[in-house]
Amino acid sequence: MSANTTRHESAVARYFEAWNAREPEARAKAVAAAWAVGGGYTDPLADVVGHDRIAAVIAAAHEQFPGFSFRLTGAVEGHHDTARFAWELVSEADGSAPVAGSDVITLAGDGRIRSVHGFLDRVPARA
């Protein structure tokens, strides 16, 4: 395993810690550990910059999907300061995964995330 691979995997692990943090204080700490100051998050539903706004996007996901957690679904692939990975949003009650996606992250010099570009590959049908 190369130093870059370890760096990418560590960044992705911190990313999932942030996305799976349910309590506001723990979420704020996890976001600060995962994202660089001034870091951003963009997907089809959000385009935000800064720790507070990223934490708010994560909180909104937990409000929409209570009792769900995010998990990695495969290997983290990366080179230089960029990595990509796939994920699912999984119900802790029945193991269903109604939402899945993939993200591309760019890392800052300190190994924290500078930017995320997220893609939704599977979403629930609207009623």
60-77, pLDDT tens digit by residue? 999 999 999 999 999 999
What's the Cα-to-Cα distance from 82 to each of 12, 58, 72, rounded to whole Å? 11, 22, 17
- Confidence check: pLDDT of 2 > 70: no
pLDDT value at residue 1: 54
Q: In the chain, pLDDT over 70 holds for what percent of residues?
A: 96
57 located within any domain = yes
59 located within any domain = yes
| Number of separate domains in the chain | 1
What does the pLDDT average to over 5-31? 98
- How many alpha carbons lie under 13 Å from residue 59 in its C-beta half-sphere? 13
User: What is the tens place of the pLDDT at every residue in 69-108?
Assistant: 999 999 999 999 999 999 999 999 999 999 999 999 999 9
30 located within any domain = yes
pLDDT value at residue 72: 98
Going by DSSP bridges, is the β-strand pair 113-122/35-43 parallel, antiparallel, or unpaired? parallel
CB count in 10 Å sphere of residue 107? 22
Task: Give me the CATH number covering residue 73.
Answer: 3.10.450.50
What does the pLDDT average to over 32-39? 99
Domain residues for the domain of 58 are: 3-122
| Mean residue pLDDT across the chain | 96
- What is the rounded CA–CA span in Å between residue 74 and residue 29? 26
